[in-house]
Amino acid sequence: MHAKLLTGGLLPLCVTMAGESIFEAFLSDKKNLALLHGHSYTAHAIGCNVAKTSVKTMVEMEMGEEWWSLGFVEEVSKREEVHSVFALGTVLAITLKDSEAGR
């Protein structure tokens, strides 16, 4: 969920995680002992800019009273073309009706 928020769904976002003992096994100034691993999208200029903008938006929302106002969510949910609305924290999901399928 946070990856989609930070990159706006523009790029994949990943992390390499390991326990303390695994991390320490690669903790060295010697190249032959290092974990020579990186991600394809490390420092991707567009992804970094989107993440910067996303974090700024999250901080601004955090300073407000709510992430998504109840009035906004209710108003959107009552629109004819909307099937359902789900809002939780930073996530707002709106499912639209499929007019061609009659749903």
Write out pLDDT tens, residues 25-39: 888 888 888 777 666
Q: How confident is the model at residue 77 (pLDDT cuts 50, 70, 90)?
A: very high
Long-range contacts of 84-93 (CB under 8 A, 24+ apart): 90/1, 90/5, 90/58, 90/61, 91/1, 91/5, 92/67, 92/68
- CB-CB contact of 86 with 67 (8 Å): no
- Report pLDDT for 23: 82
pLDDT score of 94: 93
Looking at residue 42, what is its pLDDT?
65
The mean per-residue pLDDT over the stretch 67-89 comes to: 89
More confident call, 93 vs 91? 93
In contact, 93 and 40? CB cutoff 8 Å: no
